[in-house]
Amino acid sequence: MRPGDNLYTCSLLALSPVDGRIKWHFQFTPHDVHDWDSNEIPILFDATVNGRARKLVAMANRNAFYYVLDRETGEFLSGTPYAKQTWAEGLDAKGRPRLKPGTDPSLEGTLVFPNIQGASNWPSPSFSPATKLFYQPAREMGTYYYKGESKYKAGEPFVAGGGRAVNGDEAWGAVRAIEAATGKMKWEFKLLSPPWSGLLSTAGGLVFGGTEEGNFFALDAENGTPLWDLQLGGAVKANPIAFGVDGKEYIAIAAGYAIFVFGL
């Protein structure tokens, strides 16, 4: 394994809009050996933390921890697991993971949660200013991580090792509502499969999302109660959007090879 943290990988960076210089950075997974790059979408919001009004940024990271940072300074405020993880004992006071021994890839394969695609990925979370909740499509799945060696050859992929995903009953998903400022989970709505659909929360108190089985659904934003569901005939692997035309609100989602639009 390569030595060191591999600085700026698996990180959130704040850049100056004037000259592009890095103002601060926070590394979620130093020395990443499980492919948990931070391609998730950060959410900006303001909240009171320990009696102090702060400007915050939150991310449900691919490594299965939900992080809250001060977005002006990058200071770590809290980190809480939001999905099954078996690679860390927890986070220290600065947010650095305390690694469990025996979780690196091996020649025979090492089972680690979350899986190689992460507890989250590119599908978008959503934040509601009304409920103060962070809505996350969570992926519950493990991977057997394998160690390998590769020799560099110009013009060819330089890849070593890999992973084998765990399927069956240990692979499922959920929509999880997390208290944005604290990381505490308020409710969850279970899904049959790890989702590849993002979420949309509305001012009317709804949360929209989709499933691999082709269902498009609406939940009560306060408690997760299912309110509406429609089978679209194709897997939902997109982020729902809301837009208005002539004073009427619409919800749109892509599923399979079609785009569906619904009026509210």
User: Is position 2 within any domain?
Assistant: no
**Distance from C-alpha of 187 to C-alpha of 225, rounded to nearest angstrom:** 9
User: Is position 3 within any domain?
Assistant: no
For tokens 């939900």, what's the residue? 66
Angle at 229 between CA 132 and CA 245, to 5 degrees: 70
First to last CA, the chain: 53
Instruction: Evaluate whether 38 touches 66 at the Cβ level (below 8 Å).
Output: no
Collapsed DSSP state (helix, strand, coil) of residue 169: helix
User: Is position 4 within any domain?
Assistant: no
Q: Which of 224, 197, 219 is nearest to 210 (CA)?
A: 197
Catalytic residues: 35
User: Is position 5 within any domain?
Assistant: no
Other beta carbons within 10 angstroms of residue 161's beta carbon come to: 16
Q: Indicate the number of domains in the chain.
A: 1
Instruction: Evaluate whether 210 touches 189 at the Cβ level (below 8 Å).
Output: no
Query: Domain range holding 231?
Result: 11-263
Q: Can you list the pairs that 66-69 forms with residues at least 24 positions away whose Cβ atoms lie under 8 Å?
A: 66/134, 66/136, 66/178, 66/183, 67/26, 67/28, 67/95, 68/180, 68/181, 68/182, 68/183, 69/12, 69/26
**Omega into 114 within 30° of 0, i.e. cis?**
yes
User: Is position 241 within any domain?
Assistant: yes
**Distance from C-alpha of 83 to C-alpha of 79, rounded to nearest angstrom:** 12
User: Is position 6 within any domain?
Assistant: no
Alpha helices (H) in the chain, listed in sequence order: none
Q: What is the CATH number for 219?
A: 2.140.10.10
Q: Which of 122, 169, 138, 145 is nearest to 64 (CA)?
A: 138
User: Is position 37 within any domain?
Assistant: yes
- pTM attached to this predicted model: 0.94
User: Is position 128 within any domain?
Assistant: yes
Other beta carbons within 10 angstroms of residue 51's beta carbon come to: 5
- In the DSSP assignment, the letter for residue 168 is G
Instruction: Please list the pLDDT of the chain residue by residue as tens digits (264 residues).
Output: 678 999 999 999 999 999 999 999 999 999 999 999 999 999 999 999 989 999 999 999 999 999 999 999 999 999 999 999 999 999 999 999 999 999 999 999 999 999 999 999 999 999 999 999 999 999 999 999 999 888 888 998 877 888 888 887 789 999 999 999 999 999 999 999 999 999 999 999 999 999 999 999 999 999 999 999 999 999 999 999 999 999 999 999 999 999 999 998
Angle at 110 between CA 105 and CA 114, to 5 degrees: 90
